[in-house]
């Protein structure tokens, strides 16, 4: 007896299942993919990023959401949960549930060993197709290292990198700077935790 393939879901079916689920799943091309839990370090970095961005963007028309906002990346049906999402201006949603964002300005992924290849490859490639997206940030866990892909007026994407705790990330999409020491506050590299 042969194994039967999982039936393809519509976007509407995915959203109905996901809104009732206890655990988050991404969605692509009719299939749901369960997300794994985060490590302590991943949580620290994500919290540091959202706190620092929130503080820096208080006086701008931008909102910072960490962890739980779903983003519809493409009309082909790619839905994902970035670690941190920034939207400048009024947010646009798929429907009246207001839980699936259409217009992020900045997406941030804190890289995990299990998701790094996906975040750098498939997700980056698809997210860059979002018309609203101006910047996509990849943040390492194992060392103080951040990469930014920024949309240029030509439509091309420019890569910038920062390394070391003394560096400062310049996020042009939201016109602010983040000190790497703040991004990695209380994260241990070797035997030392970063204290600021």
pLDDT-flagged residues of the chain (< 50): 1-4
Question: With left for phi above 0 and alpha for psi between -120 and 50, is residue 27 left, alpha or beta?
Answer: beta
Of the candidates 103, 58, 107, 67, the residue with the CA atom closest to the CA atom of residue 85? 107
pLDDT for res 2: 36
pLDDT for res 77: 80
Q: How far is CA 33 from CA 78, 86, 155, 172, in A?
A: 11, 24, 30, 32
pLDDT for res 128: 92
Domains plus CATH for the chain?
11-193 (3.90.1570.10)
pLDDT for res 81: 93
pLDDT for res 192: 61
Of the candidates 38, 37, 49, the residue with the CA atom closest to the CA atom of residue 185? 49
């Amino acid at each position: 007896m042969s194994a039967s393939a999982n039936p393809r879901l519509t976007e509407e079916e995915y959203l109905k299942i996901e809104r009732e689920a206890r655990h988050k799943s991404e969605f692509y091309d009719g299939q749901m993919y369960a997300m794994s839990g985060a490590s302590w370090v991943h949580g620290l970095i994500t919290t540091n990023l959202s706190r620092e961005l929130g503080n820096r963007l208080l006086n701008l028309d931008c909102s910072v959401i960490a962890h739980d906002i779903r983003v519809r990346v493409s009309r082909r049906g790619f839905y994902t949960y970035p670690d941190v999402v920034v939207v400048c201006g009024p947010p646009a949603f798929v429907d009246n549930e207001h839980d699936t964002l259409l217009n992020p300005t900045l997406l941030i992924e804190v890289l995990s060993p299990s998701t790094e290849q996906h975040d750098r490859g498939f997700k980056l490639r698809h997210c860059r197709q979002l018309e609203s997206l101006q910047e996509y940030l990849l943040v390492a866990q194992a060392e103080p290292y951040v990469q930014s892909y920024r949309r240029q007026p030509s439509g091309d994407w420019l890569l910038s990198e920062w390394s070391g705790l003394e560096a400062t990330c310049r996020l042009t999409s939201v016109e602010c700077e983040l000190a790497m020491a703040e991004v990695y506050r209380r994260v241990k590299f070797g035997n030392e935790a970063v204290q600021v």
